[in-house]
Amino acid sequence: MNDASLAIDQVHQGDCLELLARVPAGSVHLAFADPPFNIGYDYDTYDDSRPANDYLEWSKKWMSEVVRVLRPDGALWLAIGDEYAAELKVMATRELGLTCRSWVVWYYTFGVNCKNKFSRSHAHIFHFVRDSKKYTFNADAIRVPSARELVYGDKRANPQGRLPDDTWILRPQDLPEGFSADEDTWYFPRVCGTFKERSGWHGCQMPEQLLGRIIRASSNPDEIVLDPFGGSGTTLAVAKKLGRKYLGCELSGAYATRISERLARTKSGDPLNGAAEPLKSAPATKAGRRLEDRQKTFFPHFRVK
C-alpha cells in the first residue's frame, strides 16, 4: 500500500466513505459489514433515522466502495434487518454486480419483545461474491455436528460434521429433539448485558463465534478482513485471533478508542469467546443457568454430550 493508503491491523476513525477511498482497489479479501439499520437506534455520532431514499443512496455509495476494494475473488458479508434487506440484496446483485451465494438467517435468543406482532429474533446475513465461480469457501473450517451426532448420539456420525444447508427452523427451545446448527438459519445467542463476552459499551455487539464462522469460511490466514462499521470491534478482534490482517473504519471517536483498546488486549491465537456449538455448551452468564440445565428441565430425554 502507498503512503496515502490506510494502515492495516488497526481501526481508523472517520467517515467510511472518506476512509475507503484511501484503500487500494482489489486489495481486500473479505469484508463484513453490519451497517446502521436506519431504525432510529441512538448512536452517539450518527443519525439512524434518515429518509428511506437518503439511506438507500448512502448504502449504495459505501457498498460500491467495498466492491471496489475487494479482490476479484473477494467476498462481502452483509448483516441487515428486515426493513431494508430486500432493497440491499437487489442493489448488490442487480446494480453492483455481486452474486449472492447464501441468504443466511441469524436466529438469536433474547430478541426484542413485541406486543402487536411476532417478536423479532433474527437478522439477515447475505454472502456476496464478486466472481460466482472463483471465491474462497473453506468448507472443512465451518463444519457443524450432524443431527445423527447432536440429537441421537450415534457413534457412526462423521466426527468432522457436515456443512450448513438450507432450511426453516422453529425456536430451538420448542423443538422436542433439540436444534441442529447444520442449516442456513444460524443459532447464536445475542450478546446480552449479562454475558461475559459483552464489551459493555456498544448496544449492537455481534457474537465472536458468528464472525468466526464467516471469517474462517471466506478468508485464509494473513489475508485482509475489512469492516467499514467497526462498532464494538468484534470483526477486527476475531480476525486478529484467527491470524488474519484487519482493517476497520469507525465514525465515532469514542467507539474507535474502545476498539483500539480491545485490539490491544487481543492476541493472535486467542480462543473465541462464546459457545462454538450453542447446544453443546452455552456461554455462562453472571447469574444464569447453562443450556444443559434448561434441557434437563424441559427435555429430560434429550442428551447433550
Listed in order, strand segments (DSSP E) in 93-159 are 99-112, 120-129
Calculate mean pLDDT across residues 59-67.
Answer: 98
Q: For the chain, what are the domain ranges?
A: 10-298
pLDDT confidence of residue 193: 46
Query: At 68, is the pLDDT very low, low, confident or very high (cuts 50, 70, 90)?
Result: very high
Question: Confidence class of residue 183 from pLDDT cuts 50, 70 and 90?
Answer: low
pLDDT at 142: 84
- Contacts of residue 243, defined as CB under 8 A and 6 or more positions apart, other chains included, come to 221, 222, 268, 269
Determine the Cα–Cα distance for residues 62 and 15; give it in Å rounded to an integer.
10
Where does the pLDDT of residue 121 fall: very low under 50, low under 70, confident under 90, or very high at 90 and above?
A: confident
In CATH terms, the superfamily for domain 10-298 is: Vaccinia Virus protein VP39 (3.40.50.150)
**pLDDT of 164:** 60
Model confidence at 299: pLDDT above 50: no
What is the rounded distance in angstroms from the CA atom of residue 10 to the CA atom of residue 246?
7
**Is the predicted pLDDT of residue 80 greater than 90, yes or no?**
yes
Task: Give residue 197's pLDDT band: very low, low, confident or very high (50, 70, 90).
Answer: very low
Q: Are 68 and 25 in contact (CB under 8 A)?
A: yes
Q: What is the mean pLDDT of the chain?
A: 80
186 pLDDT more than 50: yes
On the question of pLDDT at 291 being above 70, the answer is no
Q: How many CB atoms lie within 10 A of CB 67?
A: 18
When mean pLDDT is compared across 19-23, 146-150, 258-262, 299-303, the lowest value belongs to: 299-303
Global confidence as pTM: 0.78
pLDDT of residue 17: 97
- State the pLDDT at residue 245: 98
Residues 6+ apart with CB under 8 A from 68: 20, 25
Say whether pLDDT at 204 is over 50.
yes
At residue 4 the predicted structure's pLDDT band, cuts being 50, 70 and 90, is confident
pLDDT per position as a tens digit, 206-221:
889 889 999 999 999 9
Instruction: Report, as an integer, the average pLDDT of 89-93.
Output: 98
